[in-house]
Amino acid sequence: MKTEKSIAIQYDQEDPLQSFRKEFYISDNTIYFDGNSLGLLSKRAEQAVESIMEAWKRHAIDGWTEGTHPWFYLSEQLGDLSAPLVGASTDEVIVTGSTTTNLHQLVATFFKPDEKRNKILADELNFPSDIYALKSQLKLKGLDPDDHLVQIKSKDGNTLQTQDIIDGMQDDIALIVLPSILYRSGQIVDMETLTKEAHKRGIIIGFDLCHSIGSIPHQLTEWDVDFAFWCTYKHLNGGPGSVGALYVNKKHLGKEPGLAGWFSSAKDKQFDMEHTLTPAEDAGAFQIGTPHVLSAAPLLGSLEIFKEAGMDQIREKSLKLTNYFMELIEIELTDYAFTIANPRDDQTRGGHIFLEHPEAARICKALKENGIVPDFRNPNGIRLAPVALYNTFEEVWETVKTLKEIMQEESYKKFENKRGVIA
């Protein structure tokens, strides 16, 4: 039977990525399904931080140009390692800043409103930080966000329809910013089609890859996406507050950054100290300040793991894990009012499943009490992210078994049905 534990064990034995689990620090008493919020620490990431610290200790100021990983070129080196994950050439990617800082940079660069085109198209399901940034950028241009930020509505509260987004591409839209994967439901947005349709109408389009980078393959250059940006602490396992990254299509390279800073400079001109910027000819032009070296260091180790594992294998296992999760839920939890609210088909489902339940906050607390780490999303959502590099099919089986016990015994009722300070 599909529900037998032996099936999960068999899947784990057949898993071509099973050896990567030992690369990570995993508690013996915890099943961690929150890697789409914060990925686990790998031993290679830890070693990379130690290596950078040693360079600081040994070389001091000369660490900028000496040692195994000279800091002056660290953002470019990490961009080279990141480029295959988004289907880009190395000159199109730079690791720098934070998600929201990079979004501000890209909107400041590409949003050039005029009398005809002066609105930004987004959606109502995006993570709030992106919307805050877009509204700020509109205000800086003297535009009222109530009039100039158009947000596509969701018909079901969890997903977006491609045609609804296309219909929103009106003549007054100058820029489109959308998530690649919706952070609640895990729906993958059709980036290729939307890019094609935007360009037919002369509209610049970019994507927030925070929930897709390291989870699904991308082909940004092939799709002709104008720009993208992402964090590195979720599926990429870069650590809390690790440095963000951005992509700019090669056709836009040479464009002056909207928000210039010292590290926007061409490397060979930077120390000339001129007051007229000579921008880098690659994505490095869209850096602003000095690289956050210690916050970037873990990526030297974690991105090497992705290089070895390969995104195709990661995606294949991820789909198998989430399919197995849904199959067990549908068999074992049918009597307990759970709704699987993420897309079912492989083409539009990202790296996590999303359950809705009226008692979701309580259930998440009960799971944690039982050593299982989920992610609660207000008001009634439970995100469970089985990460291909370190989670197992047996952990999926154990989680569904525990969920069933929690519901049968009603042990969740001892908790208050509201989130904590951080959810």
Q: Is 26 exposed, middle or buried (0-12, 13-18, 19+ CB in 10 A)?
A: middle
Count Cβ atoms within 10 A of the Cβ of residue 245 and give its class: 0-12 exposed, 13-18 middle, 19 or more buried: buried
Given its phi and psi angles, is residue 239 left (phi above 0), alpha (psi -120 to 50 degrees) or beta? left
> Among all chains, which residue has been given the structure tokens 């007051």?
275
Instruction: Name the phi and psi angles at 51, rounded to 5.
Output: -65, -45
99 annotated to bind ligand? yes
Q: Is 128 annotated as ligand-binding?
A: yes
As beta bridge partners, residue 95 has 245
Does the N-terminal peptide bond of residue 128 adopt cis geometry, omega within 30 degrees of 0? no
Q: Are 101 and 136 in contact (CB under 8 A)?
A: no
Distances (CA, A) of 24 to 19, 100, 254: 10, 28, 40
- 290 a known binding residue? yes
H helices of 60-127, in order, are 74-86, 99-110
Separation between Cα atoms, residue 169 and residue 132, nearest integer Å: 21
Q: Please tell me whether 262 is known to bind a ligand.
A: yes
176 has which bridge partners?
A: 121, 205
For the record, the structure tokens of 288 come out as 């602003």
233 is in an annotated binding site: yes
Q: Which residues are annotated as a binding site?
A: 99-100, 127-130, 208, 211, 233, 262, 290
Q: Which residues are annotated as a binding site for pyridoxal 5'-phosphate?
A: 99-100, 127-130, 208, 211, 233, 262, 290
